[in-house]
Chain A
Amino acid sequence: MEIPEEEFLAPGHRGCAGCGATVGVRLALKMLGKNTVAVSATGCLEVITTPYPETSWKIPWIHVAFENAAAVASGVERALKSQGKDDVNVVTFAGDGGTADIGLQALSGAMERGHNLIYICYDNEAYMNTGVQRSGATPYGASTTTSPHGKESFGEDKPKKNIPMIMAAHGVPYVATASISYPEDFMKKVKKAKEVDGPAYIHLHQPCTTGWGFDPSQTIELGRLAVETGSWILYEIEEGEFKITYRPMQRKPVNTYLESQKRFKHLKEEEKDRIQEYVDQVCAELKI
């Protein structure tokens, strides 16, 4: 796969060393190209890329608030249409908090209305911008500052909310999961999302060195481990047809993924076993 050299997200932003979110945005924008307007929800990405008077965005970009990125994008898309600029891509980048929690209503509305826009959720599995608080996308067992482990707690006690399937239930033409550690898979999906007429949703799994607790050099490796252990599954749903886009040759034990992150360090064997059982169950359902 040929990856365009041109960059639309400039370096020098305030992201942490090893930031996974910006890797995802760079790759997405390479596929979307210059003729694109981006909308951001409040969050890490917005804060690190636009410290006034600087900006990393080489394409037009707008941010309004935390919970309304999909609604802002709806307005942008229709306004461009009203000017005959139907060829401009409208892409939204929102974190898992801005997507699974506070922004879910606006997102649902936008998906239902059928706007021609691409919504990419960069999922780092907690509110990282404000210091690692749990979100609806925080996985079972993860310790965050608002789901801390302790004498009577093993951390987050609910599984990750399944947003891509909730999006699929809206009947939109394209839904996919992706990982920054599988760039070709992700970029192919962005390309499809761009070409589809109507709403497209991509849920991008993205390790966060600060929130998950691993060495910044290991970001890509962690994303790979998530997929290779079956903790994150790469698929797409095109016009209702579900397809796994990447199958690990042989699934690694979930523990290899868990033990490499501080957020799972506290887990006891029985809790890890429970997570393995859960992953096995999901993978069995999907024949992975």
Chain B
Amino acid sequence: MLRVISANRALAEAVKLARPKVVPVYPITPQTTISEYLASFVADGELKAEYIMVESEHSAISAALGASGTGVRVFTATSSQGLALMHEILFAAAGLRAPIVMGNANRALSAPLSIWNDQQDSISERDSGWMQFFAENAQEALDFILQAYRISEDQDVLLPSMVCVDGFILTHTVEPVDIPTQEDVDKFLPPYQPTHSYLDPEHPMSIGTFTDPNYYMDARYDMEIAMEGAVDVIRKVNKEFEEVFGRKYDLVEKYECEDAEIILVAMGSICGTIKAVIDDLREKGEKIGLLKVISFRPFPREDIYNAVKNANRIAVLDKNISMGIGGVLFNEIKAKMDVDASGFILGLGGRDVPPEDIIRIIERTRNPTDTQKINWIGIKEEE
């Protein structure tokens, strides 16, 4: 059924269809409407779940982890400061191999205080052991939630997932979304059956024990193996998703990459703007392409390389910055493959990125002055 809704609504609809048993949440702009939609679904009996209105994001993820420990499907959602407050427990959730799925409404981190979009919040949790999937639009927000449960709950993965949606740009903007039927979702996503870690008085086990140097590192190694292996699981789940719902996904999306001389690499809603710019430029004969990174973790190294290796130059767009070295996606791509790339920082704290900025990026990429330089787009002093 096609409905015109926001990404937050689409995400909440996906959660309802996924039938989690426990939903602990704490409201924060611009995630708040997710908390509200889920509360109303539970209040109306549309979602049979225990909704826990906790007193902080720290407790939201803690309660989610406790609930997941009993072997049920859980959901939580947050944004920015909330995600930062969860930081400690994000690592615990991944380390305890809890297949929690979380929605994150991407928002800048304070200070200065900003409620507007960038991706610094989730990017800053890149080392937590969570998978991260970035949505370009409301449809993807919905679809990625359903896929995230399948991927996280896969017995070869058992790592939590974060579905990232750009604050306001997606969370509060309405667009047409195809909401699947419960029947189809049940087919794609059956109830979660934990196999080896859950709290049950009939089978007592201790979860979250204290390890000495003989054990800790091996547990971390196992997580890395699971994270790397998740690449294949994602492909499998993408395929099954297409079979049921007809929408095709991959770890990356290639848009006009085939013959492109310059390829832009980006994540999230900005890809919509880039696609529009590319369409215009293609009409003028300019060979520009976009590589949209959907899965930031696991990092689809080969997919990215294969997509961009034939381009003359690439531009990596980051709505985040690791101070002193530049955009995280840019630096990870540079670290993992031999490509001729320029890095751009843009859209921080909701700074608008109009099509002209994309054109400016393409020009600067075509004629680079210093490829080590951190290129800022949209700084007032520069204009």
Residues of A within 8 A of B (CB): 34-37, 39, 46-47, 50-53, 55, 57-65, 67-68, 70-76, 78-83, 88, 105-106, 108-109, 112-113
Contact = CB atoms under 8 A, between A and B. Distances in A.
A34 B60 CA distance: 28
A177 B169 CA distance: 53
Interface residues of B, number: 43
B32 interface: no
A75 B63 contact: yes
Among A35, A36, A72, A83, which residue has the most Cβ atoms of chain B within 10 A?
Answer: A72
Contacts of A106: 55-56, 58-59, 62
B58 A79 contact: no
A83 B70 contact: yes
Contact of A50 (B59, B199, B206): B206
Contact of B199 (A34, A51, A76, A81): A76
Contacts, number: 152
Contacts of B204: 57-61
A74 B92 contact: no
Given A34-B201, A53-B215, A112-B55, A74 B88 contact: no
Given A50-B206, A52-B215, A71-B62, 13 more contacts: A39-B66, A55-B206, A59-B204, A60-B200, A62-B66, A71-B63, A72-B62, A75-B68, A75-B74, A78-B63, A78-B67, A82-B22, A112-B55
B209 A72 contact: no
A68 B88 CA distance: 11
Given A60-B200, A65-B62, A79 B74 contact: yes
Interface in B73-107: 74, 88-89, 92, 96
A72 B68 CA distance: 10
B306 interface: no
Contacts of A37: 70, 199, 201
Given A64-B66, A65-B88, A88-B201, A75 B52 contact: yes
B208 interface: yes
Interface string B45-75: 0000110111110111011111111111010
Interface string B268-299: 00000000000000000000000000000000
A82 B63 CA distance: 14
B71 to A, nearest CB: 8
Given A68-B89, A72-B65, A112-B55, A63 B207 contact: yes
Given A46-B210, A61-B206, A65-B62, A74 B24 contact: yes
A75 B62 contact: yes
A72 B49 contact: no
Contacts of B52: 74-75, 78, 113
Nearest to A46: B210
B379 interface: no
Nearest to A57: B206
B93 to A, nearest CB: 8
A82 B375 CA distance: 51
Among B49, B54, B64, B208, which residue has the most Cβ atoms of chain A within 10 A?
Answer: B208
B201 A72 contact: no
B21 interface: yes
B70 A80 contact: yes
A64 B92 contact: yes
A73 B64 CA distance: 10
A82 B55 contact: no
Contact of A79 (B70, B209, B210): B70
Nearest to B197: A62
Given A37-B199, A46-B210, A109-B59, A75 B67 contact: yes
For the complex of A and B, the 8 pairs showing the least CB-CB separation, nearest first, are: A75-B66, A109-B55, A75-B63, A71-B59, A79-B67, A71-B62, A72-B66, A50-B209
B44 interface: no
Among B59, B60, B205, B207, which residue has the most Cβ atoms of chain A within 10 A?
Answer: B59
A280 to B, nearest CB: 38
25 contacts: A34-B201, A50-B208, A50-B209, A57-B206, A60-B205, A61-B199, A61-B204, A62-B208, A64-B89, A64-B208, A68-B58, A71-B58, A71-B66, A72-B65, A74-B24, A74-B54, A74-B62, A75-B52, A76-B199, A78-B52, A79-B67, A79-B74, A82-B21, A106-B62, A113-B54
